[in-house]
Amino acid sequence: MRKRNIGILPNKELTKLINNGKIRIDPSVDNSEEIFSNIQPASLDLTLGDIAYRIQCSFLPQSQMVQNRINDLKMYEVDLNDGAILEKGAVYLVPLREELDLPKGICGKANPKSSTGRLDVFTRVITDNCFRFDDIADAYKGKVYLEVVPLSFTVKVKTGQTLNQLRLFRTSDEKHRTFFKHEDADKIHDFIKGEKLVDFYVKNKLLYDQNGRYIVETRNHVTDDGLLMSIDLINATSKGGPVGYKAKKNSQVIDIDKLAEYKEEDFWEPINNPLSGHLILEPEEFYIFASKELIRVPTICSAEMVEFDAGSGELRTHYAGFFDPGFGYGRDGEILGTRAVLEVRPHDVPFRIEDGQILFKIRYEMMSEAPDIWYGPSIGSNYHSQGLRLGKQFSQRYY
């Protein structure tokens, strides 16, 4: 892939920004060089600082410094250095260890990591003088803060752990010396759209069915700006396992650093294949499901899960919807797709879903150049071969 003037920055560009001091951890932090180990193919894992502020409510600073708002809303402080408990339903704000000094023409967007979303821990980044969550302004200079709200489970976190990740975008067309405005999303994100998306779909064989067969027909899946994806209520797991999970209430504390530590049955109610082909989801309950289709993300792009139609139902279908280059694809296209996992929360009223119902859309966006690492076992990726998969903290019989 030839280097492009706009697009998502790959791992090697993130490394350059760190080496040039444009992304840095306070030098007083021990082992600050660990920042390089947090680089993913198209993103950087951000790390928790040593304090969490329990605050009265969520907020956006608008034209203010974040610290000023903290002083107004702070209830108490929690020391994270030796690990601390964040209570379910409480709102916390954590200064992250990374600070930014972005060059002109570089902006960013943050999102929760997959394991964070699957734990139903709601996170959003804010920065000084920002008007939108998770957006990092062009040439932003300053600290980065993470709002953390555990919604289903009380969790234990510690300084240096990562709950979210940052993508950076080159937004300047150097050839024409044009800098795009941050709100001009089409130009910043460089989505693959229209006929280009159809051609890209066919060339890279982006969707497969549960039997590993390429879905040739584009009419039911390819829209102008993304691929429509549906929910699987029949074959979401192997060997007759459940087709979904519902979070239990009043569970014990989950230490997010533990791997395969907790039994699924202590925290989740399994949802078995409904003979009727449909389920009724309860409002404000949290569910995990899997997509019917298997997706691929070639290494020249990344992808993001978004709602396909705001009027399609009163439910949220994802908290962590970013897919690194190589997801379900490998380096050279040797993987024939991987399921997407849906984090679903209905709002206001019970909501009926059916097997094969379209619930979300995948948008593909171009890299500025291909990364030299890709999502998969070679970099320790947790969900490269997933079916219906809970977070990495749980031991699980089927997926």
Q: Above pLDDT 70, what percent of the chain? A: 90
Q: In a 3-state reduction of DSSP, which class is residue 13?
A: helix
Q: What pLDDT was estimated at residue 330?
A: 93
Once rounded to an integer, what is the mean pLDDT over residues 20-24? 94
Task: Looking at the structure, tell me whether residues 49 and 105 fall in a common domain.
Answer: yes
Is 33 in a helix, a strand, or coil? helix
Model confidence pLDDT, tens digit, residues 210-246: 888 999 988 889 999 999 999 999 988 877 789 999 9
For residue 244, the surrounding DSSP H or E stretch is strand 244-247
Q: What is the pLDDT of residue 175?
A: 47
Over residues 136-171, the pLDDT tens digits come to 999 999 999 999 999 999 999 999 999 999 999 998
Does the residue 2 lie in any domain?
Answer: no
**DSSP E strands, 38-131:** 44-47, 51-55, 74-79, 84-86, 91-101, 106-112, 121-127
End residue of a domain, out of 145, 173, 201 = 173
Residues 304 and 353 in one domain: yes
pLDDT of residue 396: 86
Does position 74 have pLDDT exceeding 50, yes or no? yes
pTM of the prediction? Answer: 0.92
> Residues 257-261: what's their mean pLDDT?
93
Query: In this structure, are 294 and 149 located in the same domain?
Result: no
97, 150 Cβ separation under 8 angstroms: no
302 falls within a domain: yes
* Average pLDDT of the residues of the chain: 89
Task: Label residues 317-348 b or e (16+ Cβ within 10 Å = b).
Answer: bbbbbbbbbbbbbbbeeebebbbbbbbbbbee
How far, CA to CA in Å, does 364 sit from each of 67, 194, 228, 320? 36, 12, 12, 15
Q: How far apart are CA 335 and CA 327, in angstroms?
A: 9
Once rounded to an integer, what is the mean pLDDT over residues 170-187? 55
245 within a domain of the structure (yes/no): yes
Domain termination site, one of 116, 140, 173: 173
pLDDT (average), residues 157-186: 73
Asked, for residue 120, whether it belongs to a domain, the answer is yes
Whether residue 340 sits in one domain with residue 291 = yes
- Residues 268 and 308 occupy one common structural domain: yes
**Of 154-158, 177-181, 257-261, 346-350, the least confident:** 177-181
Cβ 49 vs Cβ 95: under 8 Å:
yes
**195 and 168, same structural domain?**
no
Whether residues 218 and 291 share a domain: the answer is yes
Looking at the structure, tell me whether residues 212 and 338 fall in a common domain: yes
Q: Roughly how many angstroms between the first and final C-alpha of the chain, as a whole number?
A: 34
User: 226 with 362, same domain?
Assistant: yes
Average pLDDT over residues 59-73: 94
The one-letter amino acid at 188: I
**Nearest by Cα to 335 from 363, 377, 380, 370:** 377
With 70 as the cut, is the pLDDT of residue 45 above it?
Answer: yes
Whether the pLDDT of residue 380 is over 90: the answer is no
Distance in angstroms (rounded) separating the CA atoms of residues 352 and 227: 22
| Residues 163, 48 contacting (CB under 8 angstroms) | yes
Residue 164 belongs to what domain range?
7-173
Task: Report how far Cα 69 is from the mean position of its chain's Cα atoms.
Answer: 27
Percentage of the chain exceeding pLDDT 90? 74
**What pLDDT does 219 receive?**
86
The count of domains in the chain is 2
Amino acid identity for residue 394 in this structure:
F
Q: What is the dihedral of CA 130, 133, 134, 137, to 10 degrees?
A: -20
Interatomic CA distance for residues 247 and 89, integer angstroms: 14
d(CA 119, CA 37): 23
- Whether the predicted pLDDT of 84 surpasses 70: yes
Q: How far apart are CA 271 and CA 250, in angstroms?
A: 19
Inter-CA distances, 299 with 6, 292, 378, Å: 16, 23, 14
> Which uninterrupted H or E stretch holds 117?
helix 114-118
pLDDT at residue 315 is higher than 80? no
Residue 379 sits at φ, ψ, to 5 deg, of -115, 15
Residue range 292-310: average pLDDT?
88
Give the per-residue pLDDT at 102.
96
Residue 174 has pLDDT above 60, yes or no: no
Q: Are residues 157 and 248 in the same domain?
A: no
More confident residue, 383 or 98: 98
Q: Is residue 256 part of a domain?
A: yes
Are 197 and 120 in the same domain? no
173 vs 158, residue with greater confidence: 158
Using CA atoms, how far residue 208 sits from 205, 211, 296, in Å, is 8, 8, 8
Instruction: Determine, yes or no, domain membership for 128.
Output: yes
Residue with tokens 């993304």: 226
Choose the final residue of a domain: 173, 199, 220: 173
Confidence of residue 1 (pLDDT cuts 50, 70, 90): low
State mean pLDDT over 14-25: 94
CATH number for the domain that contains residue 33? 2.70.40.10
8 A C-beta contact, residue 346 and residue 284: yes
Check whether 310 has a pLDDT greater than 90. Answer: no
> Distance (Å, rounded) from C-alpha 397 to C-alpha 399?
7
Residue 182 placed within a domain:
no
Q: How confident is the model at residue 347 (pLDDT cuts 50, 70, 90)?
A: confident
Would residue 49 count as lying in a domain? Answer: yes
In this prediction, residues 267-271 reach a mean pLDDT of 96
Is-contact 193 224, C-beta < 8 A?
A: yes
Instruction: Please give the average per-residue pLDDT across 26-54, as a whole number.
Output: 86
pLDDT of residue 188: 61
Same domain, 321 and 386: yes
